[in-house]
Structure 1
């Protein structure tokens, strides 16, 4: 797996470099930040540019060839050392491991006992395995469906809006007599409609307030009277601030808003195109995604197309998307009336009239779940992803989530690489290593469901804000579990904030509920996050992050063996734990095993003695 990543690192790195350049352009060449950041917080331009340089220096988290070799060699040495421990050698290291596990056990309740060794597999759950990991495959539609669910939450739409709209899109395409290729383009364009929505979330939130709520409220107006939509946005000017700051922000944003919205739409389209290039979608879709915010009358964004110059599949998606929004607002009759009124203005009149004629059939209730209906609606040629294509697609999902904030660029890629390398260092199986790399890629997709006002806040979070923040791990599981293929990966990905002592979130899981992969992911995410700046703090050095990770281990929150594996993969050496006073190495080993809850016979088997 490491060799595979090494081989494709340059291509992945190039894609991500281009993506970061697009983010810089979309956010900061036309958008001037309404409020100059102050205090210890770096300017947004500086933050993105520094992240861009870091991506170039590190080959965008995929790692350079030399870094891959160095990390692999370091992980192999650590794994060899662990193998000697399992074989009974290297007594000093065995004593350290035993003492550390005993120190963090604290009681017989099962918290902080350390990673499960192979012999202990009966006592704590093993990481879920993906069968046939080396030859697995998944339909492209499943991956795009997960992205669609994420964009629903990021745009303030009802969950499954994108899935329902995609079904309506295919039905409308059939009513218009489109050929299979054009229908397929409409299908995939519908699923990817809003995948550029995270690119300007932080800037949008400072200008208008809670970007998710504002965008959701503006959704029904997008293809209506442009003046009404603009007034809706203007009413929220400065919503990301309060008091005098809101007045100042609002005044500046009033001047900037029209140009900002135009640039924002262009940025959405450009980022959507770049992400789609990594998702193995059919030819021609890239051009479609450049037109998603255009209007038939030429009053759309960024305002480069009108009429027939907008690709027909996009015109169909626009009507289907708006139809579902209006259905949610006022039912079928309201949807028909609204679509008819927008014919020749926001919409192609031919497409709008086709919907009006067959609205009941096109927008009828879905017999199966929206997810199943979306999969069934895919045109007959149904492409699949396999092997490294899956890894690349999930990495694209991670980048989509990371774009939510200039501070999190490259976070998912870093967690994925570190967790996978830690799995090697910790002696886990190749399946578990693959699982961790994929879980690392998607672990933060739930972030898009939380407003940037929370992620960009410099001070302490309020109780409400903290609860919203904590739910992002739940949203990751909720979104990704829709896919049968991604569900076992989501079970691991959604636990990246759990802690062995039960103090984590979103489930408050304890050590007995967390398997090897989940413990490693939690430690890898913590280390990677600490070495990146956030709105409320500067980045910590690798050495500081390593020390903090070890402190968390000593306190029983992170697993000692997971921390050791992560630090080994990161090239850091964890401090040695002190031996419990007055105990021999053998006594320490006995107490460690007892703390793990082993019965007498199991204890004897591990110690190589008679159970009597």
Structure 2
């Protein structure tokens, strides 16, 4: 029997998600869509077969997604990760110019001694830490491509995103025409779009010529420069990306309901990588919301909608610097406003097409409160639909039972008490919050059987490192030596095939190892 149609194509979903990626790059929304348009036009000019246009689109939409996974690492080395990426468009990151760029931004936001240490470390390692971060970026992005069911050629293409024509990128030594044509096209389009938007056609041509033979394919640069005015979007060149999808047969196929859910889960996992302490948050909120909706006997369609909204409700966090998400001290008023804006970004990212717009309307209400004290709209009472009230209660509960940079996780008993006080104060809907607490199980815990041969202790360690704990932190939390903690981490990486915190986190998420709630004493 044919599976129900979700009404959404994968292209539409990835286009929406790309708007959130734009925020993480420090660019206006639709930067990646405009870059794809430029690359597509240039591709047709140089003979890219129509059959490869879908691969070009997927490469454009996915290549930067891995940047969310290295947000905490970029912040540790260079300060505000979003500002760092925005600035990076102005520099050729290869060779001496790249090292000068990294050194000039090392330790940003730290006191002078911290900046000096960061510069010294970067200089001493020759940028090795940066290169390892780039490799991790490529790896997790190709993982997403595989999870979305895209062809192996697309996974290979996104792994080449940080390769350079001159062979000085990552993977090291991959150069020239060894780099897929769709990647070389997007390399040019991604950069020239920014320079064109900021300073016009001449600036786009200038940067393309300056990087010809180093970052960019010289033949593509020549083709671009000879027709830049025609290839770049003009002032009146408004376009409907969703209409363009319909003209591309390879992008117009709609997802089944189950495939749509699976794609949302994959994208939710990458959203949660934005902050180490939030690993598994979106999945947890989605499952809890759906369980509560069933207890309230909502129609099956509403149960599915609130589940999907739970998966998507934090997509706007891509627009919030990791330094704010991971800050261990109280946020300033300005930082609070930037965090509150994430709900607006979520709604805006999911505004189109209609099938996503309803999802976005619910997801954007995740932080509203019945008394009007929530954000970003400040709506209250009956203006908040029941699915959104469930989502708000589920999100609030999961936030409490998960660790954050400024506090440890609350026990189930403590979290239940806080939710009860929120009900009494009129901030959470009683029926919705009661259903969420019931769905949470009030301290029950299912037995975890470790995949890949992980022992119970290794599962415990995996949960800690997935949420950002370093080796010393693991040792302190578990009361073991640093050497023992390091041995556990090495075995976890060996058994799971992980090479970084990000890939270990994705393994844990795929196997349901981060959904457990703490039932420590007092719960």
Scaled by the length of structure 1, the TM-score of the pair is: 0.69
Matched, 1:147 2:17: yes
Instruction: State whether structure 2 residue 166 is matched by structure 1 residue 297.
Output: yes
Return the match for 1:459 from 317, 329, 344.
329
Which residue, out of 555, 559, 564, partners 2:429?
A: 559
- Measure the CA separation in 2 of the matches of 1:444 and 1:181: 35
Residue of structure 2 aligned with 1:314, choices 163, 183, 186: 183
CA contact (8 A) 1:141 1:378 kept: no
Q: How far, CA to CA, are the matches of 2:165 and 2:249 in structure 1?
A: 26
Moved more, 514-523 or 304-313: 304-313
Partner SS, residue 66 of structure 2 = coil
Match of 1:443 among 306, 310, 313: 313
Partner Cα distance (2:412, 2:244) in 1:
45
The whole-number CA distance in structure 2 between the counterparts of 1:478 and 1:455 is 20
Cα 1:401–1:216 change in 2 (3 A) is: same
Whether the 8 Å CA contact 1:166–1:187 is kept in 2: the answer is yes
Secondary structure of 1:385 counterpart: strand
Aligned match for 1:473, one of 340, 343, 348: 343
Q: 1:513, 1:284 → 2: CA distance?
A: 47
Structure 2: how far apart are the matches of 1:563 and 1:252?
49
2:394 paired with 1:524: yes
Distance in 2 of aligned mates of 1:226 and 1:439: 44
Figure out how many residues of one structure are paired with residues of the other and give that number.
441
Distance 1:470 1:303 in 2: 41
Structure 2, unaligned stretches of length 5 or more? 444-523
1-side partners of 2:275 and 2:84: how far apart?
Answer: 18
Aligned 8 A contact 2:284 2:398 in 1 = yes
Aligned equivalents of 2:258, 2:278: Cα separation in 1: 24
Query: Is this contact kept in 2: 1:140–1:385, CA < 8 A?
Result: yes
Q: Secondary structure at the match of 1:344?
A: coil
1:238 partnered with 2:107: yes
Partner of 1:580: none
Aligned to 1:415: 285
Question: What SS class does the counterpart of residue 284 from structure 1 fall into?
Answer: helix
Deviation, 1:370, is 5.4
* Cα deviation digits, residues 433-487 of structure 1 (max 9, x gap): 0001100001001111100110111111111111111111111111111333211
Cα 1:158–1:560 shift into 2, 3 Å: same
Matched, 1:424 2:330: no
Alpha-carbon distance between aligned partners in 2 of 1:454 and 1:255, rounded to the nearest angstrom:
29
CA distance in 2, matches of 1:322, 1:232: 16
The alignment's C-alpha RMSD in Å is: 2.0
Structure with higher RCO (Cα < 8 A, 6+ apart): 1
Aligned to 1:328, which of 197, 205, 208?
197
Deviation at 1:236, TM superposition (A): 1.8
Query: Aligned-pair distance for 1:376?
Result: 5.3
Give matches, 1:97-136, under 5 Å: 134-136=4-6
Tell whether the 8 Å contact from 1:167 to 1:374 is kept in structure 2 after alignment.
no
**What's the counterpart of residue 355 of structure 1?**
224
CA contact (8 A) 1:269 1:289 kept: yes
Residue 406 (structure 1) aligns with: 276
Instruction: State the alpha-carbon separation in 2 of the partners of residues 306 and 373 from structure 1.
Output: 35
State how far apart, in whole Å, the 1-side matches of 2:312 and 2:111 are.
34
- C-alpha displacement of 1:379: 5.1
Shift of 1:254: 4.2
Counterpart-to-counterpart distance in 1, 2:411 and 2:124 = 41
* Structure exhibiting the larger radius of gyration computed from Cα positions: 1
C-alpha spacing 1:402/1:257, structure 2 compared with 1 (3 Å): farther
Q: How far apart are the structure 2 equivalents of 1:362 and 1:177?
A: 14
Once residues 113 and 437 of structure 2 are traced to their aligned partners in structure 1, the CA distance between those partners, rounded to angstroms, is 46
The residue that corresponds to 1:46 in the other structure is none
Q: Which residue of 2 aligns with 1:345?
A: 214
Report deviation, 1:244: 3.8
Per-residue Cα deviation, 1:65-108 (whole angstroms, up to 9, x for no partner): xxxxxxxxxxxxxxxxxxxxxxxxxxxxxxxxxxxxxxxxxxxx
Does residue 273 (structure 1) correspond to residue 153 (structure 2)? The answer is no
Match of 1:187 in 2: 57
Q: Is the 8 A contact 1:263 1:302 kept in 2?
A: no
Whether the aligned pair in 2 keeps the contact of 1:137 and 1:390 (CA below 8 Å) is: no
How far 1:428 sits from its partner (Å)?
A: 1.1
Q: Which runs of 5+ in 1 are unaligned?
A: 1-132, 574-612
| Equivalent pair of 1:180/1:379 in contact (CA under 8 Å) | no
Distance 1:222 1:454 in 2: 28
Aligned-pair distance for 1:381? 5.5
Task: Say if 1:245 and 1:297 are closer, same or farther in 2 by CA, change over 3 A.
Answer: closer
Q: Which residue of 2 aligns with 1:285?
A: 154
- Equivalent residues of 1:470, 1:506 under 8 A apart: yes
